[in-house]
Structures are given as C-alpha cells and as structure tokens.
Amino acid sequence: MKLAMICSAVDPTIGGVLVFGDRGTGKSTAVRALAALLPPMHAVVGCRYACDPELEEALCEECRERARHGPLKHKLVPVPVVDMPLGVTEDRVVGALDLERALSQGVKAFEPGLLARANRGFLYIDEVNLLEDHLVDLLIDVAASGENLVEREGLSVRHPARFVLIGSGNPEEGELRPQLLDRFGLSVEVSTPTELGERVDVIKRRDEFERDRRAFVAKWKKHDDALRRRIVAGRRRVADIDLPESVLESAARLCMQLGTDGLRAELTLIRAARALGSFEQAAAVDVSHLRRVAAPALRHRLRRDPLDESGSGARVERALHEVFGE
Ligand SMILES: [Zn+2]
C-alpha cells in the first residue's frame, strides 16, 4: 500500500489506489500519514479551491478574475485529505448551485462540495464498494479530468478538482463492478499481519504514538523528512526520466500474457514504473521497476478464469515469471 501511494503521490495521473482488506489494518492512517508528510502547498488566499498560484492554466474562474487586478496573494496550507461519508448526496460531493438566488438576484451562487475541498490532495472513500455506482463513476471521471463541472438548468460552474482517489473496501461486503475496478490505477491487498514480531512492532508503535505524540513524531522526523525529499525529487524528475523502448515492450508482453483488455493496463503499468523509478532516483526506468509495480497495476484488471482458481496476485506473479524468467 505504501509503494502504491508513493507512486500516486509522485504521479497523481496514475489514477488512484484501491485498497482491499481487513478493518483495523491502518488503511486510512496510511493515507493521512502520507498527506501529512507532503510539503504544505501554496494556495491563493480566499480561494475556495486552494488554487495553485503558480499554475495559471489550472486557476478557477474566481482566481482568474483576481489575477486581472494584480499578483495573486498566497499562503501555505496543508495537503488536504477529504473523507467521503457513506450515504452522502451528490450535491454534497459535487457542490450545489443555488437556482433560486440565480433567478432572483442574477448571481451565480455556488456552494462548493467535497470535490472542491479535495483539490490538490487526497479523497478517501472508506467502503467504496458500498457507494452507489454512479457516484463512483463520477468521482473517477473527475479524478481523471482534474475538473469538476456542475450543471443545473442551463447554469454551469466548473472548478479545478485534481486529487488522488483512494478507495478502500472489504471484498466480503460486496464487489465493485469490473468496469469500475478497471478504472482505478492501482490496487493492493492489505491483510492483518500473521507474524508475531510484526504484530508486536505495530502495537508498540501505536502505543508510543498514543502516549506521547510529540516524542513519536520527533523520533521519526528524520525518516519522514528523507521520504518527503525523495517524493518531491521524484515529482520533479518524473517528466524527464528516460523510458527505454525495451521496457515498453516488456510491459506490453506482460499484458498480452495476462490477456488484459484494452491498453489501459500497459499505460498504468508504465506510469507506475516511471513514478517508482523517479522516486528511486534511477537514471532510467528498468524492468525491476516494472516488476515491482506489476501486481498493483494489473491484478484488478484480470478477467475471471473459471479454470484457474489461483488469486489474481498469483496469476500476475506467474506471468512475470513466464515473461522475465527468474
Ligand atoms: Zn481559485
């Protein structure tokens, strides 16, 4: 899960992470921890979408207007993590246009929703498999386009909404439709640790954290700072890192071996490998990066094979073995 989230933080266009697994395994803690680790962002003062003053093409309408009257004032704000509550209405998610005010006062009154708050951060959906399909569809569309468009009776508002979508779910409580599964970039399975030492370590750290948060944070600061620097450096590098033809071919061969539909699998696989290579400061993306992101990038895209009872993770492993050998 950490690997998948770091790749998404380096390159948010990977398309989010789906996390399957038991309750109480630290899924939402991991999302919050990653967001807290990222450097605070410059946001335009007074903007409801926390626009990036440096990114002119992604400014909201209001900031474009502000920019006409002089340089944009900005301040540092933490990277947002927005929780999507179950049973939430579409208006709360996308925002609400007040038609009455528009008609009576002639002003475009828009009450931003959760998508506005998630801009430039993370949107976390616990139990994504219990959310209505059309909402999941909508979230994936917005995450992919980076923009939220709200239309009511001829009125429309659009605003930037670039975020990394993290969905968690327990596969025993209903499944996601394959059409939705396939649209998430990466997927991982989180399980309760079965090794004694690992369990004891987790409990110890949690206990330390609860008894003295400040001491705990201080103890891990060096480690966190180093991780933050690598993510930031990876982000800068991701556009330029060399991607050899041979790696592209290996990705395509792997997807052919697994029989994935369409080309989304290859694209995600390559993006994730590139993010990982950038994070690790490699000179070029190589097959070892590809191998490490193969399971999270491909596992949820496999069609059910009635003759093959092994899990999808195992099938990806087998295909890796067949394509790359030892
Ligand atoms: Zn703005």
Q: Which position among 228, 230, 264, 292 bears the catalytic label?
A: 264
Strands 147-152 and 163-169: unpaired
Between CA 190 and CA 20 the distance in angstroms is 6
Q: What is the reported pLDDT for 97?
A: 87
Q: If you ran DSSP here, which 8-state letter would residue 150 be given? A: E
Q: pLDDT tens digits for 136-157?
A: 889 988 988 899 999 888 888 9
Give the pTM: 0.88
Between CA 262 and CA 276 the distance in angstroms is 23
Single-letter residue type at 299: R
CA of 157 to the centre of ligand 1 (A): 13
Average pLDDT of 23-49? 90
CA of 45 to the centre of ligand 1 (A): 9
Q: Has residue 106 got a pLDDT over 70? A: no
Of 11-25, 160-174, 180-194, the one with minimum mean pLDDT is 160-174
Between CA 92 and CA 152 the distance in angstroms is 15
pLDDT category, 26, cuts 50, 70, 90?
A: confident
C-alpha distances out from residue 159 to 73, 102, 315, Å: 19, 18, 41
Q: Is 264 a catalytic residue?
A: yes
Could you tell me where the DSSP H helices lie in the chain?
2-10, 27-37, 61-67, 90-94, 99-105, 114-118, 133-145, 178-181, 196-211, 213-237, 245-258, 264-279, 287-298, 312-324
CA of 149 to the centre of ligand 1 (A): 15
pLDDT averaged over every residue in the chain: 90
Name the one residue in this structure whose structure tokens are 């071919």: 249
C-alpha distances out from residue 233 to 8, 61, 122, Å: 14, 31, 20
pLDDT category, 4, cuts 50, 70, 90?
A: very high
Structure tokens at 111: 């009450």
- Cβ 260 vs Cβ 305: under 8 Å: no
CA of 169 to the centre of ligand 1 (A): 33
CA of 44 to the centre of ligand 1 (A): 6
Q: Has residue 307 got a pLDDT over 80? A: no
CA of 64 to the centre of ligand 1 (A): 7
Q: pLDDT tens digits for 57-95?
A: 889 999 999 999 999 999 999 999 999 988 889 999 999
Q: Has residue 304 got a pLDDT over 90? A: no
CA of 159 to the centre of ligand 1 (A): 8
